[in-house]
Amino acid sequence: MAEFDRVGRQPFLAAAGFGPAKNYYLEVDGQLYDSKAIVGYAHGISGDRPWRAEDFSGGDKTVADLLRSLNFEVRFIRNPNWTRDEIVLVCALVERKGWRSIAQEDPKAIALSELLQGPAIHPLDGRAVDFRNPAGVERKSNDLVTRHSSSTARRTNGNRLDQVVVDAFEARPSEMQSEAAAIEAALRRWPDEARTLPDPDLVDLAGREGGVLLKEHLLRERDATLKPRKIEQAKKQGKLIACEACGFDFLKAYGDRGRDYIECHHRTPLHVTGPVETRLQDLALICSNCHRMIHRTSPWLTVDELAKLVSAARRADGPQ
């Protein structure tokens, strides 16, 4: 481990004759070490000669079990699947390049790799050391190229979302490039530290297939000062504190427990308006169910569009 720290990971792996670890890492003081390479190098110090990759008869788990038997801590880490947002960003590069793959040495691949390694989409904990590196960007670009309608190459394994994103870029290239630009801008605005959505019911919604624009939107409208001010404005105007889409009134349904309970929704997403100061007229008071229905699919519904759906459904259902 001292030699690994002295020369750095890539030179150590090259000199020891190993590729990067896939899943099993030796962890000491928060530092991750490629388990097979460490054991192979250590054998050269304590045994007859260093072991190379071909000298191991078992897989990574065999080495992990050996290290655990020596009271070392070993972590199994598998990089998370590529989300829709991440795939959209890679596909935007591929489409602009005429549906050719992006080499890992390309400055655009390097820049995108650095952007994806931030905390906005995936938590910083639980990543392998090669998480979204430029080589990974190149592999994902190959996945996308082989799914283009004009490709004659054999399809790579890829991700279930690869074809969905490629089809969208083929059908609506300008719209998808605009979405990619909005996602990129949101990632660049994201702070270096992780940010937690305070509403646990929305975590899965925002986390599904990436959703960085939705995460940013929800965090923005969780400003603790906004909802009380919006509720106070509604009261001064003589309005009920009820959902603007479906009319649900928490006070009427739950009595005093539901008094002044409502969710606050930005009518226009931040990625459309840009970073602007929120005005009360930019906000809508809506119930929890309607909030989720607005964000259920992309593009998101407006409050007025959802209100029309609710009204139409009620008419179709007939008198209650």
Question: Residue type at 85?
Answer: D
313: which 2 tokens?
């459904």
Q: What does the pLDDT read at residue 125?
A: 77
Residues 6+ away with beta carbon under 8 Å from 134: 104, 105, 106, 109, 110, 113
pLDDT along the chain (320 residues), means of 10: 93 89 88 91 86 78 90 90 94 97 97 94 82 95 96 90 96 94 89 57 50 75 78 92 95 94 82 62 91 82 93 79
Q: What is the DSSP string of 256-268?
A: GGGTT--EEEESS
Q: Are 201 and 252 in contact (CB under 8 A)?
A: no
pLDDT at 267: 84
* Residue 266, strand partner residues: 283
Q: What ranges do the domains of the chain cover?
A: 2-76, 84-189, 221-317
Q: Which token pair is 283?
A: 């906000």
Cβ(144)–Cβ(87) under 8 Å? yes
Q: Report how far apart, in Å, the C-alpha atoms of 139 and of each of 26, 130, 158, 216 are.
A: 26, 13, 9, 28
Long-range contacts of 275-280 (CB under 8 A, 24+ apart): 275/189, 278/220, 278/223, 278/226, 280/226, 280/229, 280/230, 280/233
Nearest to 146 by CA among 158, 135, 164, 134: 158
Structure tokens at 310: 């609710």
pLDDT digits (tens, 9 = 90+) for 52-79: 888 877 677 888 898 999 999 999 888 8
- The answer to whether 108 and 102 are in contact (CB under 8 A) is yes
Distance of CA 172 to the CA centre of its chain: 22
What's the angle, vertex CA 209, arms to CA 204 and CA 214, rounded to 5? 65
- CB 85, CB 212: distance < 8 Å: yes
- Vertex 230, ends 228 and 235: CA angle to 5°? 95
Residue 115 and residue 90 in contact, taking contact as beta carbons nearer than 8 Å: no
Predicted TM-score of the model (pTM): 0.68
